[in-house]
Structures are given as structure tokens and as C-alpha cells.
Amino acid sequence: MRMSDHLTRGVIALAATIVGAAAAPRVAPAQDAFEIQVYEYATVPKGMWNLETHYNYTSRGTTIGAGGLYPTQGQQHLTFELTRGITDHFEMAAYLVTSHHAGGPIGEIVGYRFRPRVSVPESWGWPVDVSLSLELGFPDAHYEENTTTLEFRPVIEKKFGDWQFDLNPVLARALKGPGTSDGWEFEPNARVAYSVTKQLDLSLEYYGATGNVTRWLPGDQQIHQFFPGFDYQFSDKMVMNFGFSIPGTHAGDQSVIKMRLGVLFGGGK
């Protein structure tokens, strides 16, 4: 084979690699299609269980799979999150993550997650309510290029009459996978809600991903999504959430519908 042929093949291979990397869908916790939720301060009461069922559908996302990842457009996800209140201010949660993508099986198990969370007692008299969450995830490589992930989520909450404000300045990183060397990434979440009635809250949620905490991505590569929606409380032990996405940039999935049903049960104190 001539040297020119080797050079031509090398150039083609390099171009294919660059194009593939550019087209690869980025899956970030801020745009996590399995659990799209801004955490509120309160933990599950001692001795009780909380089962949250998350259903999310991406109607407009990536259409080309790359790097072993499936295209996100048309994906449906059903995640079961079971939480136990261990003490008045400490809970443990486990997640079973399932998915359906175009041409794939329904209800395929694609990951597991485990999460402890502790809350600061209100009796301490802090000006804001605070809790801290740490989540270890084991996603399937077809949905997240990093197969072991870690998330640190502070939860900061303040209420003013019928208004409630929640901020989750999330830090996340890969523990196993090609993104391990990227370090900690900043993925802020926020929620503002207004209580229309005792049962109905109108809300606006925000989810972002800006890149490494010290090296932010260019603005057009950052993810900024807004989810107008509502929470409806059927009873003291059952609440439903609904929202739909409005993208702030062209990065990430562009149209997502999310729903969540939470049911509290068990003996309590």
C-alpha cells in the first residue's frame, strides 16, 4: 500500500472520530431523564417509607447514537425510588432505573442508584432550611458513558408566606468511565413555587449544566432548561408533579415531559 493511501485512511479515520465526538449526546444529571426533580428540604419521617415513581419522555432529543449511547429522542423512562426514614433527620433511598428506546424492550433495567440524605434540624434556628444528599449511581453504558457516578447535592430552602424557594447547587463527577478525568462538574437546580390552594402549587423549575467547576463550557454548550409545572396533593400521603421543558440553549434534549407520583406509607412513629 502506498504512503498516500495510509495518509488518506488516517485522515478519514481522524475525521470520523471528530465527527463522532461532536455528535455524541451528553447525558448530564441536570438533564437526567430518569429523575428530573429539585429536592426539597424535608426528609421522610422516621419509620415511614416513600415510593416515588418517575416517568419522563423525551419527544425531541438526539437522533444519532454515538460512542455506544442510544439516541435520546423517543426514549421513555420509568424510575422507582424507595426511601426509608431512619431517624427524624436521616433517610436512605434506593432506585431501580428502567427504560424503553426505539427498537428496544419495554421495562429494560438500565441502572441502580443509592442515596443517603441528612437534614439540619429546624430547632438549630438557621435562617434557611438545609439538607445534604450523596448519591452513588451505576448507569448502563448505553445511557451514560460513565458507568459509576457520584453526586453531592446540598438542598437550601426558604419559605415566604405562600412562596417557597429551593436551590440545589449540585456537584457531580464520574468515578468510572471516560469522564473520570473531568473532575467535579457544576449542575445547579432551582425551584420556585406558589401555593394557589392547600392542594395545588404552581412551580417553575430550572436545571443547568455548566461544565467543570473551574472551567465552564462556552455558553452555547451549557445546558439551561426551565420546567413550568405544578404539584397536586391528593392527600397528606400522596402528591403528583408534572412539568414540561423549555430549553434555554440548543445543548441537551430540547423537549421533555416529566411526571412524578409520591406515596408515603408505613407505621411512622
Q: What is the CATH classification number for the domain harbouring 13? A: 2.40.160.40
Number of domains in the chain: 1
Distance CA 40, CA 109 (A): 27
Distance CA 159, CA 127 (A): 10
Structure confidence at residue 31 as a pLDDT band (50, 70, 90)? low
Confidence class for position 267, pLDDT limits 50, 70, 90: confident
Which has more pLDDT, 63 or 192? 192
Total residue count of the chain as it appears in this document? 269
Domain holding 133, by residue range, is 3-266
Q: Which of 9-18, 33-42, 87-96, 104-113 has the lowest mean pLDDT?
A: 9-18
Torsion 224-225-228-233 (CA) sign: negative
